[in-house]
Amino acid sequence: MFVSDPDTQDRKLISLVVPFYNEEANVESTLAVIAENIDTQRYSWEVIAVNDGSSDDTLKKLLTVRSFEFKLVVVDLSRNFGKEAALSAGLEQAMGDAVIPLDADLQDPPQLISMLIEKWEEGYDVVLARRVDRSSDSFLKRATAGAFYSVINRLSDVEIPHHVGDFRLMDRRVIDVLKTLPEARRFMKGLFAWAGFRTTIVDYIRPERNLGDSKFSGWKLWNLALEGITSFSIVPLKIWTYIGFIVAACSFIYGSFIVGRTILFGVDVPGYASLTSILLFMSGLQMIGLGVLGEYVGRIYLESKRRPAFVVRSVHKKAINRDS
C-alpha cells in the first residue's frame, strides 16, 4: 500500500463509484483490493459505495468496515432500484476530478486504475476499459452480448463500443453533463456514449468473479437490452411502417390476382385453410407491431411521471485513516 501524504490540497481527487447489491461477501475484499491499487502519493481518493437496497448485511459491513487510505462515502438507497439507478446515485455523490465506476465483484480489475489515469493525464476525457477476453463469461452471455452490440449499433445513431461495460474513467466535465440529463429510465452505457468527449481505450482480460453469484439474470439482461434499444433508437417503429407498406402491397397484388382469376375462371370455393393461415399471420403481425409500439408508449408514460431514478435513504461518510 502506498504511503499517504498529509498535504492533499494540491492533489487531484479521484472518485470510485461501486454499486453493491447483496455483496456482503465481497465488501472487505473489494475495498482492500482497491486500497492496494491506488496511488495515494499523487492523488486523493474517495470511494462511493452505493447500497442498492441489499437484503443481506452489505450495508452493515460497509458501515463497520475498517478505515482505508481513502474517504469512504456509503450511499444507502431506500430500496433496490437496479444497477443503472445505483450508478446514477453514485455519480451524483462523486466529487472527483475524475470518476471511475467499478463492479463490486472485482471483474472490473482495480489493477487497471493506474492505466486509466495515465491516459486521462494525457488529455483524454473518457478512457474506456475494453474486454478483449470474456472467457470468464458463459458462452450464452458472450453470444447474446455480441448480438446486442451489433443490433443496437445498427439501429442507433450513437455508437456504443463493443465489449465495454460501465468500467471507465470520466473527466469531471463528462460527469457534469451526465448529471444534467433528466431521464429516469437509464441505460448508462448509452448515456456515457451519447455524452461524447475525447475518448481512448485500454484493453484488459476480464477475470473470474471474486465471490458470490451474478445478480443479472437472463430476464434482467433482456430487459436491459430492450431499455437500450428503445432509449437510443426509433428504428423499430420505422421498421413496422415499411412492413405495413410491404404487407399492403402484397395484399393488393394477391387481391388483384383473385379478382382476375374469378372473372376468368369463376368462383373456386376451396381455400378455407389458406384463408385461415393468412388471417392468423396478419393477426400475429398486428400483435407484434402493437407490442413494439407499446414498449415506446410505456416508456413515455413512465418518463412523463417525472419520478426520480432513485431515492437516497441516507449518506454516511467515513474519513481517511491516516494511522495505517
Cβ pair 173, 249 in contact under 8 A: no
Which three three-digit cell numbers place residue 85? 439507478
Cβ pair 282, 165 in contact under 8 A: no
pLDDT given at position 310: 82
Which three three-digit cell numbers place residue 11? 492533489
Cβ pair 233, 160 in contact under 8 A: no
CB burial class (10 A; 0-12, 13-18, 19+) of residue 202? middle
The answer, as to whether pTM is greater than 0.85, is no
Q: What is the dihedral of CA 153, 155, 156, 161, to 10 degrees?
A: -10
Distance CA 318, CA 61 (A): 13
Residues of the chain with CATH 3.90.550.10: 12-217+308-318
pLDDT given at position 189: 78
pLDDT given at position 57: 84
Which three three-digit cell numbers place residue 113? 486504475
Kind plus residue range of the DSSP H or E element containing 13: strand 12-20
Q: Which of 173, 229, 159 is nearest to 201 (CA)?
A: 159
Kind plus residue range of the DSSP H or E element containing 205: strand 199-205
Cell 489493477 found at? 111
Arch. (CATH architecture) of 12-217+308-318: Alpha-Beta Complex (3.90)
* Full pLDDT tens readout for the chain, 324 residues: 334 444 555 788 889 998 988 888 888 888 888 888 887 788 888 889 898 888 888 888 888 887 777 888 888 898 888 888 888 888 888 888 889 998 887 877 888 888 888 888 888 888 988 887 666 566 666 666 666 666 666 766 777 777 787 888 988 988 888 888 887 777 777 788 878 888 888 888 776 655 555 555 555 666 666 666 666 667 777 777 777 777 777 777 776 776 676 677 666 556 655 666 677 677 777 777 777 777 777 777 777 778 787 888 888 887 666 554
pLDDT given at position 210: 56
Distance CA 47, CA 31 (A): 9
